[in-house]
């Protein structure tokens, strides 16, 4: 898809508003100075206070217990899938236009070894709750995979950036809880949903078990995402 999206060759005094993607945003001068002067340490040993503060802020912002700073949203989604689908023969349920299914190099299958069962996305990014119930393997025998995760996306990229209704998310969570299945939200553009709904980000993710959001989409950061639980 990206090879068809090219940058304009206009130059001179012409000012360009680049709307190819919200990932085009660049760090401000203040952000560059903050990076230059940041206190750093070895994150493996938990000695990088800047990373620690970022992870703590992400967890508090979303009302979750912990957060992990990672390189990308794709990496964050894959971590969540591998945490929840931690047994061979696992299956996740996703909308047929979901980013984890349509993109991300098929990482859930290629790296995590997880099968995806699809439900049809509606134009607003939701999917039928009845179809969701049908896809859940309630008592699989030894020949079937085990339903281990439900993935939702908010805002929904391939559905035109639509924001998922809060009451729909609550219903998905209720169905999942009935079958002891966790829910993960691909919240790459989560902050857009919070602004649209006029609610704090923690309210948007209240009914999911894990959520990722990108720092590089609309927030000006050069790289990175948060995986939160």
Q: What is the pLDDT of residue 17?
A: 78
Q: How many CB atoms lie within 10 A of CB 124?
A: 14
Residue 10 to residue 123: CA distance in whole angstroms: 35
Task: Give me the sign of the Cα torsion angle 88, 89, 95, 100.
Answer: positive
Task: Report DSSP state, residue 148.
Answer: E
Phi, psi angle pair for 46, to nearest 5°: 70, 30
Q: What is the pLDDT of residue 2?
A: 57
Residue 23 to residue 221: CA distance in whole angstroms: 9
H helical segments located in 150-189: 166-178
Q: What is the pLDDT of residue 44?
A: 85
Q: What is the pLDDT of residue 93?
A: 99
Instruction: Please list the rounded mean pLDDT of every run of 10 residues in the chain (229 residues).
Output: 61 75 83 92 89 96 97 97 96 98 95 98 98 94 95 97 98 98 98 97 98 88 92
Residue 135: in which H helix or E strand, if any? helix 129-135
Q: What is the pLDDT of residue 8?
A: 61
Task: Report DSSP state, residue 124.
Answer: T
Q: Note whether 100 and 186 are within 8 A (CB).
A: yes
Q: What is the pLDDT of residue 164?
A: 99
Map out the domains of the chain with their CATH numbers: 19-228 (3.40.640.10)
Residue 134 to residue 142: CA distance in whole angstroms: 19
Q: What is the pLDDT of residue 4?
A: 61
Distances (CA, A) of 188 to 75, 89, 159, 215: 11, 27, 14, 8
Q: What is the pLDDT of residue 19?
A: 80
């Amino acid at each position: 898809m990206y090879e068809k999206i090219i940058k304009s060759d206009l130059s001179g005094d012409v000012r360009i508003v680049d709307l190819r993607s919200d990932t085009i945003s660049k760090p401000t001068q203040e952000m560059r100075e903050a990076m230059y002067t940041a206190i750093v340490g070895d994150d493996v040993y938990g000695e990088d206070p800047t990373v620690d503060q970022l992870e703590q802020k992400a967890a508090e912002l979303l009302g979750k217990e912990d957060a992990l700073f990672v390189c990308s949203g794709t990496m964050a989604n894959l971590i969540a899938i591998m945490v929840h689908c931690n047994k061979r023969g696992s299956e996740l349920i996703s909308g047929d236009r979901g980013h984890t299914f349509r993109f991300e190099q098929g990482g859930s299958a290629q790296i995590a070894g997880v099968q995806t069962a699809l439900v049809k996305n509606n134009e607003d990014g939701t999917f039928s709750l009845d179809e969701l119930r049908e896809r859940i393997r309630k008592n699989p025998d030894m020949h079937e995979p085990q339903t281990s995760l439900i993935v939702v996306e908010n805002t929904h990229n391939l559905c035109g950036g639509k924001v998922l209704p809060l009451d729909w998310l609550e219903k998905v969570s209720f169905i999942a809880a009935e079958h002891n299945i966790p829910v993960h939200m691909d919240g790459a553009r989560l902050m857009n949903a919070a602004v649209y709904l006029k609610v704090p980000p923690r309210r948007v993710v209240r009914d999911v078990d894990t959520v990722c959001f990108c720092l590089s989409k609309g927030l000006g950061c050069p790289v990175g995402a948060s995986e939160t639980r």
